């Protein structure tokens, strides 16, 4: 996927909502968040999932797979079902042919669907 060709059109008010959200999340400590122990939790991404934006998006790098893989043991110990998928990129891991079977199986195992 060519992220640099994506066109995003928002109003100034919508943009400010995103800015406010991400500014508030900058200092959020995920590890301090307490979730019910019996609440099913799922995280999945490609092991190499990383988005490198070009200068039009200010050259930002978003790394998803590496931190998930690095913290997989701790997340699993905290009750998460973690799936680090090989050989995909960000759009590949989000593709319905990949994501839906993971979600359907997880929901069945969690007892949320039969």
**CB contact at 8 A, 64 and 24:** no
What is residue 2's predicted lDDT score, i.e. its pLDDT? Answer: 67
Tokens of 106: 């997880």
Q: Determine the average pLDDT of the residues in 59-81.
A: 88
Confidence of residue 100 (pLDDT cuts 50, 70, 90): very high
Q: Tell whether the model's pLDDT for residue 111 goes beyond 90.
A: no
Higher pLDDT, 90 or 47: 47
**pTM for the complete prediction?**
0.71
Task: For 15-66, write each residue's pLDDT tens digit.
Answer: 888 888 888 888 888 777 777 777 888 999 988 888 787 777 677 888 888 9
The answer on pLDDT for 3 being more than 70 is no
What is the mean pLDDT of the segment spanning 87-106? 88
In angstroms, the Cα distances linking 61 to 36, 57, 82, 114 are: 32, 10, 22, 39
What CA–CA distance (Å, rounded) separates 44 from 33? 19
- Judged by DSSP in three states, 106 sits in helix
Q: What is the mean pLDDT of the chain?
A: 84
């Amino acid at each position: 996927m060519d992220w640099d060709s994506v066109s995003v059109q928002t109003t100034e008010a919508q943009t400010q909502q995103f800015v406010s959200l991400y500014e508030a999340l900058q200092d959020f400590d995920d590890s301090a968040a307490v979730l019910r122990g019996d609440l099913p939790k799922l995280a999945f991404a490609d092991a190499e999932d990383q988005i490198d934006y070009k200068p039009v998006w200010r050259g930002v790098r978003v790394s998803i797979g590496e931190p998930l893989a690095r913290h997989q043991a701790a997340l699993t110990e905290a009750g998460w079902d973690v799936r680090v998928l090989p050989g995909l990129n960000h759009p590949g891991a989000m593709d319905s042919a990949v994501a839906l079977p993971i979600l359907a199986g997880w929901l069945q195992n969690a007892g949320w669907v039969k």
